[in-house]
Structure 1
Amino acid sequence: MGGLTLYYRGEVLDFLNQLLTDDDAPLMRLRIVFSGKIDIERLKAAVLASAQIVPEIFGGYQADHNRFVVADDQPINEIVHEVQSPYSPENTAFDLNHGPQLQLFVVHHDQYDVLQAFMSHLLTDSTGFKEYLYLLTQAYNYDDLKDYQNERRLQPVMTQLQRKFSRPRPHPNLVTTAVKLPHYPGITLRHGGHVMLSSKQFMRVRRVAKAQDVGISEAILAAYAKALQVLTGHTTITLPCPINFRRFAPEVEKTTRIANLTSNVFLTIKIDADAPFSTLVKQVHDLLETERERAAFLYRLTNLQKMNHTMPVSLMRKMTKHWLAQRPLTYTNFGVIDQQRLKFHGLTVVNCVFSGAFRTTPAMEIAASTFAGTCTLSFNSSGSERDYQLSMKILENIQAQLLVWAQTSLPSPATGDEVMPANG
């Protein structure tokens, strides 16, 4: 055979992710540490099985047509790579226009393997990346996937959104103080940084968030804003907060949503340096509630969807860039990684961390993910060593604020035991 090419139409949020990433490959990153050695041939077979459901993983992306192009002769070795420690896969030049939308690197250590996965944001969002990991795990375990399907269309979710929000209102022009981090000269390298909240520390954070009726993401965003205020002196800071549209659509058995179904709302946070941190978290919570009720994101989405079906991509790109500026400081939340769904046959997963896009400093994306009760805050960046140190300082400031909030906002249980309520 050979020579057959299949085209898979992109959705409007795929196009949006392409539009907002001029220089950096819009990638997400996953790192899994195993207790032993993974079966490479079994992993390759699992990727091929998953491609029956998500064929786009083998495709290049044609930006001018907003579509994925998949040839029938894509070799598995273009996706699965074996390397020896201390090889650093993040320094690979990823070509998403011509190459696959997924890259897997098995990094061999003496007694164990580490799997580093990179997935394109053109194909899916953070939740979709996690769904792909679960699908890959099922395929690795030889589960029967023949009745599975992947739902990438935005329209079914839009229909549900339009029922819920009958009259979305346009967003007023976003007038914000541009918060810019300093950018230091030096050799540009790709860096990855992270801080962790242990399971005991994160349990305390969850407990105080529950007591104050706020979300973990809201607390992280408040700490992010406060860290930026301390660093830059700005007291008004705009940060995007992701909204996952999957929660507005009913779950369908044996259907994955490895797709872009997340959009941002923008929260303009005003920081009083003397106010307690809990007041700032409450402000972020209230701002997010207001944005959800106004449903301005749906207004923008509806217009984009109409444009996607009526305009050439080149004209759509030009128009969209006028009213949808890229924000240099972003946040993404991968949420809780389900340990029950992450069981590779014969292996124990020692650690699993998702992180977000590589951003060229002074732009920055902070990502949160939770595995085995431990919360990891991370970033991936391209910049100098001093840029990296600055980003680490921001992460450490966020971590410190969350820990102080958790310690001072609630008394510890009399027994000293860290026990969460059964429904927590």
Structure 2
Amino acid sequence: MIGGLTVYYRGEVLDFLNMLLTDDAAPLMRSRIVFSSKIDVERLKAAVLASAQIVPEIFAGYQADHNRFVVTDQPVNDLVHEVQSPYSPENGAFDFIKGPQLQLFVIHHDQYDVLQAFMSRLLTDSTGFKEYLYLLAQAYNFDDLTGYQNERRLRPVMTQLQRQFSRPRPHPNLTTDAVKLPHYPGITLSHGGHVMLSSKQFMRVRRVAKAQDVGISEAILAAYAKALQVLTGHTTITLPCPINFRRFTPEAEKTTRIANLTGNVFLTIKVDVDAPFSTLVNQVHDLLTTERERAAFLYRLTNLQKMNHTMPISLMRKVTRRWLAQRPLTYTNFGVVDQQRLKFHGLTVVNCVFSGAFRITPTMEIAASTFAGTCTLSFNSNGSERDYQLSMKILENIQAQLLVWAQTKLTTTTSVEHVVNTKAE
């Protein structure tokens, strides 16, 4: 008990939305932080307890019928675990309904430690996960956290959105005919795969993206769509693109936003097999611009917020499920990891990679994160060996698209199809 009391923390509508999307996979995000030496585990436990003064929900269970988090105790040893390499915590079962919403594993190697952090999407999104790790680093460093607070409310964000988008229009079609990947028989195992763009390679990608006036996520989504076209033959691909609502509101001093403040827009991408990749990237850019101007995400948020205050949860669940587009193929952007904020006293962070949930094939979630200038694209899956190989082909196709695009002058019409088709064989 916390002071002998059970404490309830109200959930927001986007927490509830994430709960509805977790039928077949633990709603988690994972980070893997490699240190150059050994971490002080007791100091880490103290940092967790200190961070819980600001984000008490990390110790909570989640009551879906009431959309709330429940904290009855703070057993730090149930949250921080010490294990020896080659132990793989991702093969374990995570129950974020019973709680807690965070699990930390210190994996001891001979000369160094690896910290694997798993956080529930019921509590926060990809940006909020990073914010929590920054907060944990501050607590580990004995920084003064007096006066810090965590802002989880959606209302301030919606108020600002409504000022910017006065008349949001509903999306014309909330149900999408998604491309389905094949599913191969075999023994089901947990797999993790990734490809990397080195700092030099990613610098070239950023340079050509800037010259073309497009975003990195737009380029990745274009490459994702092209890879799916190559491997499935479909020329119409619908993919979700995350929008971080935090960017619509200013940051406040001593305030973290470890919360679900990200929504998706759905881009229906037409892949012209004969067009250069730069044309496809421009199409994705234009589609995303249109979706942002339409502000359909605000229309849905407004209705969800109203239902949250007027409907019983059971009825809200039935209504909301009808709105949810099927998402067998998803994309999560963790963005750039701030190396200055991810500093633990006495330790050097050698590498840090973020990834998403273990999806049951043929569903798939691709995650992108950047650390020290290196961009990593990753996935986690439960499936057969052939399923894993197919997912790796998708990543390799995306990598090939981006690398050839980065080497192609924008004034030329060089096509990258030959390179990517070779990768797919």
TM-score by length of 2: 0.95
Contact 1:36 1:347 in 2 (8 A): yes
Residue 71 of structure 2 corresponds to residue 70 of structure 1: yes
- Report the Cα distance in structure 1 between the residues aligned to 2:178 and 2:69, rounded to whole angstroms: 35
- Report the Cα distance in structure 2 between the residues aligned to 1:3 and 1:355, rounded to whole angstroms: 37
Alignment match, 1:414: none
What is the identity, as a one-letter code, of the residue corresponding to 1:66?
N
Alignment match, 2:15: 14
- Report the Cα distance in structure 2 between the residues aligned to 1:326 and 1:249, rounded to whole angstroms: 29
- Report the Cα distance in structure 2 between the residues aligned to 1:402 and 1:239, rounded to whole angstroms: 18
Contact 1:20 1:326 in 2 (8 A): no
Residue 336 of structure 2 corresponds to residue 315 of structure 1: no
Residue 34 of structure 2 corresponds to residue 33 of structure 1: yes
RMSD: 1.1
Figure out how many residues of one structure are paired with residues of the other and give that number.
410
Q: More displaced, 184-193 or 142-151?
A: 184-193
Structure 1 residue 148: Cα displacement: 0.3
Q: More displaced, 261-270 or 182-191?
A: 182-191
- Report the Cα distance in structure 2 between the residues aligned to 1:178 and 1:317, rounded to whole angstroms: 22
- Report the Cα distance in structure 1 between the residues aligned to 2:109 and 2:156, rounded to whole angstroms: 45
Cα distance change of structure 1 residues 175 and 151 upon mapping to structure 2, 3 Å threshold: closer
Q: More displaced, 282-291 or 375-384?
A: 375-384
- Report the Cα distance in structure 2 between the residues aligned to 1:410 and 1:202, rounded to whole angstroms: 17
Alignment match, 2:380: 380
- Report the Cα distance in structure 2 between the residues aligned to 1:276 and 1:196, rounded to whole angstroms: 23
- Report the Cα distance in structure 2 between the residues aligned to 1:220 and 1:321, rounded to whole angstroms: 28
Alignment match, 1:45: 46
- The Cα offsets for residues 340-392 of structure 1, whole Å up to 9 and x where unpaired, read as 11110000000001111211111101010000000000011111111111101
What is the identity, as a one-letter code, of the residue corresponding to 1:26?
P
- Report the Cα distance in structure 2 between the residues aligned to 1:319 and 1:267, rounded to whole angstroms: 23
Contact 1:168 1:296 in 2 (8 A): yes
What is the identity, as a one-letter code, of the residue corresponding to 1:273?
V
Alignment match, 1:299: 299
Contact 1:351 1:371 in 2 (8 A): yes
* Partner SS, residue 408 of structure 2: helix
- Report the Cα distance in structure 2 between the residues aligned to 1:231 and 1:177, rounded to whole angstroms: 17
Alignment match, 2:147: 147
- Report the Cα distance in structure 2 between the residues aligned to 1:175 and 1:255, rounded to whole angstroms: 37
- Report the Cα distance in structure 1 between the residues aligned to 2:47 and 2:175, rounded to whole angstroms: 48
Contact 2:174 2:325 in 1 (8 A): no
- Report the Cα distance in structure 1 between the residues aligned to 2:141 and 2:245, rounded to whole angstroms: 30
Contact 1:176 1:236 in 2 (8 A): no
Structure 1 residue 36: Cα displacement: 0.2
- Report the Cα distance in structure 1 between the residues aligned to 2:53 and 2:174, rounded to whole angstroms: 43
Alignment match, 2:120: 120
Q: More displaced, 291-300 or 173-182?
A: 173-182
Contact 1:12 1:305 in 2 (8 A): yes
* Partner SS, residue 90 of structure 2: helix
Listed as ranges, the gaps of 5+ residues in structure 2 are: 412-425
- The Cα offsets for residues 161-212 of structure 1, whole Å up to 9 and x where unpaired, read as 0000000001112464431000111111211110000000000000000000
- Report the Cα distance in structure 1 between the residues aligned to 2:312 and 2:409, rounded to whole angstroms: 54
Contact 1:177 1:236 in 2 (8 A): no
- Report the Cα distance in structure 2 between the residues aligned to 1:105 and 1:129, rounded to whole angstroms: 16
- Report the Cα distance in structure 2 between the residues aligned to 1:335 and 1:209, rounded to whole angstroms: 15
Cα distance change of structure 1 residues 23 and 271 upon mapping to structure 2, 3 Å threshold: same
- Report the Cα distance in structure 1 between the residues aligned to 2:401 and 2:23, rounded to whole angstroms: 33
Structure 1 residue 262: Cα displacement: 0.1
Alignment match, 1:363: 363
- Report the Cα distance in structure 2 between the residues aligned to 1:176 and 1:352, rounded to whole angstroms: 34
* Partner SS, residue 118 of structure 1: strand
- Report the Cα distance in structure 2 between the residues aligned to 1:325 and 1:404, rounded to whole angstroms: 33
* Partner SS, residue 274 of structure 2: coil
- Report the Cα distance in structure 2 between the residues aligned to 1:280 and 1:311, rounded to whole angstroms: 42
* Partner SS, residue 38 of structure 2: coil
- Report the Cα distance in structure 2 between the residues aligned to 1:51 and 1:124, rounded to whole angstroms: 15
Contact 2:178 2:326 in 1 (8 A): no
- The Cα offsets for residues 232-282 of structure 1, whole Å up to 9 and x where unpaired, read as 000000000000000111110000000000000000000000000000000
Contact 2:32 2:116 in 1 (8 A): yes
Alignment match, 2:263: 263
Structure 1 residue 323: Cα displacement: 1.9
Contact 1:10 1:66 in 2 (8 A): yes
Contact 1:366 1:377 in 2 (8 A): yes
* Partner SS, residue 167 of structure 1: coil
What is the identity, as a one-letter code, of the residue corresponding to 2:348?
T
TM-score by length of 1: 0.95
Question: Percent identity over the alignment?
Answer: 90
- Report the Cα distance in structure 2 between the residues aligned to 1:319 and 1:146, rounded to whole angstroms: 42
Alignment match, 1:106: 106
Structure 1 residue 409: Cα displacement: 2.5
Contact 2:356 2:367 in 1 (8 A): yes
Alignment match, 1:59: 60
Moved over 2 A (4+): 174-178
What is the identity, as a one-letter code, of the residue corresponding to 1:319?
V
- Report the Cα distance in structure 2 between the residues aligned to 1:26 and 1:285, rounded to whole angstroms: 29
- The Cα offsets for residues 107-131 of structure 1, whole Å up to 9 and x where unpaired, read as 0000000000000000000000000
Alignment match, 2:247: 247
- Report the Cα distance in structure 1 between the residues aligned to 2:117 and 2:93, rounded to whole angstroms: 14
Structure 1 residue 410: Cα displacement: 5.6
- Report the Cα distance in structure 2 between the residues aligned to 1:175 and 1:315, rounded to whole angstroms: 20
Contact 1:35 1:350 in 2 (8 A): yes
What is the identity, as a one-letter code, of the residue corresponding to 2:320?
T
Structure 1 residue 393: Cα displacement: 0.6
Contact 2:178 2:327 in 1 (8 A): no
Structure 1 residue 325: Cα displacement: 2.7
Cα distance change of structure 1 residues 195 and 296 upon mapping to structure 2, 3 Å threshold: same
